[in-house]
Amino acid sequence: MDLGGWRLYFLGGKLRLERHCQAVNPACFTFGALPVDKARQDRFLMELSHLLEEALARAKGTGGSVSLSRLFRSEVRRGQAPPYAASPLDWKP
């Protein structure tokens, strides 16, 4: 799943979060068939990408976890470089 600047994927049976698009734009997101105007959906996804970027930067600076409700949780150690290990939230692979 592409989340703007980040990609969430399985590798060897483990969920991982890694860098994806350097210059985030609507093409950096996994397509979602939502009953919402495309321009509004694009603005929402761009804001989501910005907030995820900010949360991961803070977690990298201090150590901590980043969760995206009903999608994933990632534990980030202080100064750790991506990719980050992640675990599913409220769903099973």
pLDDT, residue 91, reads 78
What's the rounded Cα separation, in Å, for the pair 25 and 83?
21
pLDDT at 79: 94
Q: What's the confidence (pLDDT) of residue 72?
A: 94
Model confidence at 41, pLDDT cuts 50, 70, 90, reads: confident
**What's the average model confidence in pLDDT over 53-74?**
94
Pairing verdict, β 64-68 and 6-11? unpaired
What pLDDT, on a 0 to 100 scale, did the predictor assign at position 44? Answer: 87
